[in-house]
Structure 1
């Protein structure tokens, strides 16, 4: 299947570094970041897994669970995790799916035949508590992922879910936000009684809601 934004991410059960893992049961009511790797013992992915392990408290603070996927088996993952701890200074502290039969890779459309017929591309899926796909990013094998940007986009998604705003280019926590154009004048005044800066009728800037 080909997953698009706002599609429901399907459930699956697969082996992992933490045993048999049923995705929906494991995810519960949390947001999820699932990120895939082409295979074990790859240099860029080794640094990424170490980075996510270090950032796990930041994800948890946002109510987000993290989970990796690689197409090798659980025994290989266990050996790789030793290298991650040794070279990155942080042990693996989240599950790594053992997708040796490519079942999950096929289910989530993580194999791009023009890149490789057998290995997953390096994709990030951000999934909300309703199991809807909210963000997808796909990176080439040579470029390490920017997890600070992934945290930023989660902050934006969670903020804009709570308030009728959107975030502008390069937005960071605490920065100005945009009142959504669909919000009429009267409703905007009720929600933002201190007013806004209007650059254009469709571009109204307000301080970030608390």
Structure 2
């Protein structure tokens, strides 16, 4: 962080906690001498101006910035490619090609190749690729 860094998004001051009450961002269990504390809310909004993800932490729990960055990278990849990120996915690891993408489409979309997981059903829809 630089002391003279410019912030290109709005920051709202709410010293009387009016906005957090209107938005129901109040932690009902935690209070200080001036009233309820705000919960730690984080909303990720996409370019289409729609909320893509919301985290809501109690006021007593800090946010996990590694998780926030992981989610942002997942949202970017899944919006750019027809993929999903599996549980515990980390940036740089393989993602899952969407089941509605045919193998022919996948070969065209991912010329570097992909790996198909053998399933008991013999269906070839669980395909992994690095993007």
Q: Counterpart in 1 of 2:57?
A: 139
Give yes or no for contact 2:27–2:59 (8 Å, CA) kept in 1.
no
Distance in 1 (CA, whole Å) between partners of 2:46 and 2:73 is: 12
Q: Shift in Å at residue 112 of structure 1?
A: 4.8
Cα RMSD between the aligned structures? 2.6
User: Does the C-alpha gap of structure 1 residues 92 and 115 become closer, same or farther in structure 2, counting only changes over 3 Å?
Assistant: farther
Is 1:110 the equivalent of 2:61? no
Unaligned residue ranges in structure 2 (runs of 5+): none
Is 1:206 the equivalent of 2:125? no
Is 1:180 the equivalent of 2:98? yes
1:42-97, Cα deviation, whole Å (9 max, x unpaired): xxxxxxxxxxxx4xxxxxxxxxxxxxxxxxxxxxxxxxxxxxxxxxxx75955642
Q: Shift in Å at residue 101 of structure 1?
A: 4.4
Q: How does 1:79-158 map to 2 (within 5 A)?
A: 94=7, 96-113=11-28, 118-158=36-76
Q: How does 1:48-63 map to 2 (within 5 A)?
A: 54=1
Q: Counterpart in 1 of 2:115?
A: 197
User: Does the C-alpha gap of structure 1 residues 92 and 133 become closer, same or farther in structure 2, counting only changes over 3 Å?
Assistant: farther
Query: Of Structure 1 and Structure 2, which has the larger fraction of its residues in helix?
Result: 1
Give yes or no for contact 2:30–2:59 (8 Å, CA) kept in 1.
no
Q: How does 1:28-67 map to 2 (within 5 A)?
A: 54=1
Q: Shift in Å at residue 134 of structure 1?
A: 0.9
1:93-136, Cα deviation, whole Å (9 max, x unpaired): 55642223444324433125466673321111111122211111
User: Does the C-alpha gap of structure 1 residues 108 and 131 become closer, same or farther in structure 2, counting only changes over 3 Å?
Assistant: farther
Q: SS of the residue aligned with 1:190?
A: helix
Compare relative contact order (CA 8 Å, sep 6+) and give the higher one, 1 or 2: 1
In the superposition, the TM-score normalised over structure 1's length comes to: 0.48
